[in-house]
Amino acid sequence: MRTIQSVNEMQSHAIGLRSGGQLIGLVPTMGSLHAGHLALIDIAKEEADKVIVSIFVNPAQFGPSEDYEQYPRVLEEDLEKCRERGVDIVFNPSVVEMYPQGYSTFVKEEHLSAGLCGVSRPHHFRGVTTVCLKLFNITRPDIAVFGQKDAQQCAVIKKMVTDLNLPTSVLVGPTLRDADGLATSSRNAYMSDVQRQEALSIPKALQIAQDMVQQGTRSVDRIVAEITHHLSLHRRVRVIYAQVVDKETMEPAREIEPGRHIACVAAWVDQTRLIDNVEL
């Protein structure tokens, strides 16, 4: 496995791989790799000849009062996991490499990013689209693999790729869950055992929504009310949003069409912000 920190070196190497007819798969991450990331790496390995994992905690997608400084950074552990998983290249640039002095260019998707997380984190997706476009230009991937847990991010990146005519296919891997049902996330490490028990109310609420739809409920208001009610029973949980949206356009649903809509939740568990979603 090769580790590269330089943007120029990574770009030159990627161009060489493409010239040699190698299909490149990229798994963009902020490190602190967990089982969900490893599952995305497996998808990339199935689809591509060479797999690149980027590890970069992107300051542009954090707000001024968010957890950029506290975000877990465990590079040596991440590198070992990548070696064990058969990753070909880890791209681990510094902030100065990605955003040199005087940097002032950003990419903003205007529509899909406006709701859900975009309301409480107004600059988040601008940072996501900017860093992903930069990573695509640097690593030249034929495919890029993201996780369904970040459903809005997936939709925004797909829209960027379409709108800007990028030669990269976006693949979405299913949400991976721990044995207790909690969606895997690097931020899960912030929580104590007691807080984690409270956090389990999120997948439980989403399961209630799925069950209601399977039993014939089509009212969005009823689904959202049940999700919100279940979460309100847990004193450490503060709901940021609970919505039902089209899984491609992120438009709020009026009436649920099975297979088309997803139920999405974002909530604070004390000081930890979690998101999750399920297809209805």
Question: Domain boundary residue among 123, 147, 173?
Answer: 173
122 and 191 belong to one structural domain: no
250 and 143 belong to one structural domain: no
Strand-strand pairing, 2-4 and 89-91:
parallel
32 and 151 belong to one structural domain: yes
Over residues 98-122, mean pLDDT: 97
Domain tally for the chain? 2
* pLDDT-derived band at 70, boundaries 50, 70, 90: very high
Q: Read off φ and ψ for residue 279, nearest 5 degrees.
A: -75, 140
33 token code pair: 């790799």
Over residues 234-250, mean pLDDT: 97
Give the residue from 117, 101, 99, 97 showing the smallest Cα distance to 109.
Answer: 117
Residues with catalytic roles: 37
46 token code pair: 């199935």
* pLDDT-derived band at 280, boundaries 50, 70, 90: very high
Over residues 28-33, mean pLDDT: 98
pLDDT tens digits, one per residue of 193-204: 999 999 999 999
Residue 262: its pLDDT value, please?
98
Question: Domain boundary residue among 121, 141, 173?
Answer: 173
**Which residue segment(s) compose the domain that 252 sits in?**
186-279
CATH number at 80 reads 3.40.50.620
C-alpha angle 100/101/102, rounded to 5°?
110
Q: Which residues in 42-74 are b (16+ Cβ under 10 Å) and which e? A: bbbbeebebbbbbbbbbebbbeeeeeeeebeee
Question: Domain boundary residue among 105, 140, 173?
Answer: 173
CATH number at 257 reads 3.30.1300.10
